[in-house]
């Protein structure tokens, strides 16, 4: 299967092979070694000297962990949303009692750092800014350098959902002063879902000491104290750890800069190819994500029929739209274990199937891929 959704991503054979191993004692020396090795390597991926904690759960679990560990009920927070996942972060903050001011950009566009500056100036009691780095639902990447400059310039806590970007797109946790950053195994790491990663800056630890939202499973303090003795507080997803251990070694061998360049090149190839087919991109190229490309479903084409035929005839699986974009866009994931050939295959399949499901290009004829 050419699985081209924005996570879970395909896994290389060396990841699947690493996972084909029986269980070990998660409170024994072998796990201790693996936990420390993975944690140290994740710090290199996060580009941080701060703590990185590995949690067993989905990315949304890490989002909940980020909220409940640094905030108290009633705390004022600014939630910067540019899509489904930005909305989700705001929903979590609200569910746990934060007082949320929401700054929403039109879907398909990035957050405006100046709008964040104004919102912070108008609401001086805001304690933290919660923002998505790469919005999977719209295929848009925010300018984190600019946003962090505004947020940290204002002395606020900066909480970043980098679940679908970190390890694929340039991200500099310490340089940008990000206090809490979330990521997940099923994205650029090329590992099955089940583990989430979260960095905690010194400032975030200070916030943790005062934070009063109820927490237990996601508690940073418990995770850190167990990490100090080479364990996780609760039984970890051991097999996913095996995969992560193998993947991180290969990733650092390839080098983060090389990984970033590969993602940028393949994303450009995707966008160029999609346009050559006569399709239009949902997001402007100036902010288009290099991990996922959102493509407008052309008039006259039923997305369900298109996706079913892509899978049935070509074994190509794309993602549809989420929320308000359901049926209106399709998304091509190109993160993690991705090659030029994978995208060539997607474009070729699209060029064959599109006319079969009623597509008539308006702008330029499909030239194939």
Q: Per rule CB under 8 A, is residue 58 in the interface with a second copy?
A: yes
Q: Any contact of residue 339 with a second copy (CB under 8 A)? A: no
User: Is 103 or 307 the residue whose CB approaches a second copy more closely?
Assistant: 307
Residue 31 Cβ, how far from a second copy at the closest point, in Å? 10
Q: Which of 214, 228, 257, 341 binds a second copy (CB under 8 A)?
A: 214
Instruction: Determine which residue in the list 186, 201, 290, 291 makes contact with a second copy, applying CB under 8 A.
Output: 186
Total residues binding a second copy (CB under 8 A)? 56
Q: Which of 39, 91, 104, 345 binds a second copy (CB under 8 A)?
A: 91
Q: Say whether residue 61 binds a second copy (CB under 8 A).
A: yes
**Region from 146-154, 227-235, 286-294, 297-305 binding a second copy, contact rule CB under 8 A:** 227-235
Residue 209 within binding range of a second copy, rule CB under 8 A: no
CA-angle at 351, arms to 349 and 352, nearest 5° = 65
Instruction: Rule CB under 8 A: say whether 95 interacts with a second copy.
Output: yes
The answer to whether 23 touches 174, Cβ cutoff 8 Å, is: no
What separation, in Å, do the N-terminal and C-terminal C-alpha atoms of the chain show? 19
By C-beta, is 85 or 176 nearer to a second copy? 85
125 near a second copy, judged by CB under 8 A:
no
Is 238 among the residues that bind a second copy (CB under 8 A)?
yes
64 binds a second copy (CB under 8 A): yes
Q: Which is nearer to a second copy, 268 or 345 (CB)?
A: 345
Nearer to a second copy, 8 or 108 (CB): 8
* CA dist 55 → 65, 95, 215, 222, 245 (Å): 9, 21, 14, 11, 15
Q: Cβ closer to a second copy: 89 or 103? A: 89
Contact 33, 242 (CB under 8 A): no
Pair of tokens at residue 174: 């310490």
Q: Does residue 133 bind a second copy (CB under 8 A)?
A: no
Q: Is 59 in the site for a second copy (CB under 8 A)?
A: yes
User: Which residues of this protein are in contact with a second copy, per CB under 8 A?
Assistant: 1, 3, 5, 7-11, 16-17, 19-28, 56-61, 63-64, 91-92, 95-97, 184, 186, 192-194, 213-217, 233-240, 243, 311, 317, 319-320
């Amino acid at each position: 299967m050419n699985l081209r959704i924005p996570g879970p991503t395909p896994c290389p054979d060396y990841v699947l092979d690493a996972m084909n191993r029986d269980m070990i004692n998660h409170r024994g020396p072998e796990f201790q070694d693996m936990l420390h090795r993975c944690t140290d390597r994740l710090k290199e991926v996060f580009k941080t000297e701060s703590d990185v904690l590995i949690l067993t759960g989905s990315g949304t679990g890490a989002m909940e962990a980020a909220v409940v560990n640094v905030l108290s009920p009633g705390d004022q927070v600014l939630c910067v949303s540019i899509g489904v996942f930005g909305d989700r972060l705001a929903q979590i903050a609200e569910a746990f009692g934060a007082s949320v001011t929401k700054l929403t950009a039109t879907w398909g566009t990035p957050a405006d750092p100046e709008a964040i500056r104004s919102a912070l100036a108008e609401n001086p009691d805001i304690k933290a800014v919660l923002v998505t780095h790469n919005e999977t639902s719209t295929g848009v990447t925010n300018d984190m350098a600019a946003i962090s400059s505004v947020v940290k310039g204002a002395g606020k806590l900066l909480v970043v959902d980098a679940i679908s970007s970190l390890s694929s797109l340039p991200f500099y946790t310490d340089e940008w002063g990000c206090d809490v950053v979330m990521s997940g195994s099923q994205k650029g790491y090329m590992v099955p879902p089940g583990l989430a990663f979260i960095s905690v800056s010194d400032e975030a630890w200070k916030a943790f000491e005062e934070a009063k939202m109820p927490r237990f499973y996601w508690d940073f303090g418990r995770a850190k104290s167990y990490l100090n003795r080479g364990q996780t507080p609760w039984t970890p997803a051991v097999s996913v750890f095996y995969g992560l251990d193998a993947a991180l070694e290969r990733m650092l061998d390839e080098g983060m800069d090389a990984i970033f360049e590969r993602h940028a090149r393949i994303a450009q190839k995707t966008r160029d190819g999609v346009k050559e087919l006569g399709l239009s991109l949902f997001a402007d190229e100036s902010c288009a994500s290099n991990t996922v490309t959102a493509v407008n479903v052309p008039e006259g084409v039923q997305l369900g029929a298109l996706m079913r035929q892509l899978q049935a005839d070509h074994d190509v699986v794309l993602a549809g739209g989420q929320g308000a974009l359901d049926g209106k866009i399709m998304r091509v994931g190109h993160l993690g274990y991705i090659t030029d050939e994978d995208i060539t295959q997607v474009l070729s399949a699209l060029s064959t199937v599109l006319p079969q499901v009623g597509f008539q290009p308006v702008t330029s004829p499909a030239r194939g891929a």
